[in-house]
Amino acid sequence: MNGPRRILLPCMLGAHLCTLAQTPPVVLVNEVKATRPWEPREEYSFPRIVMPERPAVAQRINRHLCGELLEVDPDAAGNALFANVWGDSAGTWMPRLNYLTWSTAHPCAELLDVLIEGEACGAYCEGFSSHYVYDLRDGRALTFDSLFTTAGATTVNDSLYRRWVRTLGDHIATTLDGMAVEGQSTEDLERSRAMLEMYRYCMEQRPDGEPYVTDIVPFAGGIGFFLARCASHVEQELDELDPLRFDLSTAWLAQHLRPEMRALFR
């Protein structure tokens, strides 16, 4: 069932990321809802993008979102959009996704930001966050590699890597100073040693100039870059720097963007 439509607001005047000469396309977001037909009867919700002036672009975005998360073609699924993720009535396989929530944003005239969160289950269940930035000119999902020239990507990676090394180094130094303070419990000291070993190993394993960018977040005046965490699944509680994000200004990034991407970030 489709919920009420919500019109995404165009970028604000004066936002450096946006080009004032651009006319934002009309972007509507419908909410598609369905309730699992057996217990527990959880309600599932998912966005459906509508672009009256660019239906092919909206179709491409919807197919990508549904394929990535629901493993279906939305044009063929009909009323069974969630059939591949909510398990079966006999309980022979557990729901693959639970507790889905989502939000959208319009950081610039030709960009659509979609964030979907929930619980994913496989060998174990854990929370997840899937973030996508779409180019509204053609419906493609932007990635780090799609934004930059080969030389530009190397330069941006190097800048992020140096910031990452400096941040880890500062955190290691702060942790060592804390360990030197008298009165630390044995448990706290053991945790600090394990954390230091994790960060040192992480720095040794990542090649120079390879920060491992996992997500990009455009905003007014720049792009935020999230880097891969150092911790494995079992070490997550040790990683005090997760999530780790570094912001770079579009004024500096512009020279490193592919020519066809520069219009998005003026």
pTM of the model: 0.86
CB atoms under 10 Å from CB of 86, counted, come to 21
Omega before 24 within 30 of 0, i.e. cis: no
Mean pLDDT in residue range 104-130: 93
Considering Cα of 146, then 147, then 152, then 158, what sign does the dihedral take? negative
Same domain membership, residue 17 and residue 131 = yes
Q: Which domain holds residue 171?
A: 148-265
Q: What is the pLDDT of residue 6?
A: 43
In whole angstroms, give the CA distance from residue 120 to residue 233: 14
For residue 157, tell me if it sits in a domain: yes
Domain total for the chain?
2
Q: Are residues 155 and 136 in the same domain?
A: no
Q: What is the per-residue pLDDT across 196-206, written as a single tens digit (0 to 9) for each? A: 999 999 999 99
Query: Are residues 127 and 155 located together in one domain of the fold?
Result: no
Q: What share of the chain in percent tops pLDDT 90?
A: 75
pLDDT above 60 (res 1) = no
My answer on whether 257 and 225 are in the same domain is yes
Q: How confident is the model at residue 89 (pLDDT cuts 50, 70, 90)?
A: confident
Q: Quick one: 57 and 11 in the same domain?
A: yes
What is the spatial distance between Cα 210 and Cα 161, in angstroms, rounded to a whole number? Answer: 6
In the predicted model, what is the mean pLDDT of the chain?
Answer: 89
- Could you report the per-residue pLDDT of 167-211, keeping only the tens digit for each? 999 999 999 999 999 888 999 999 999 999 999 999 999 989 899
Shared-domain flag, residues 131 and 247: no
Radius of gyration of the chain (CA): 22
What pLDDT does 14 receive? 31
Q: Is the pLDDT of residue 102 over 80?
A: yes
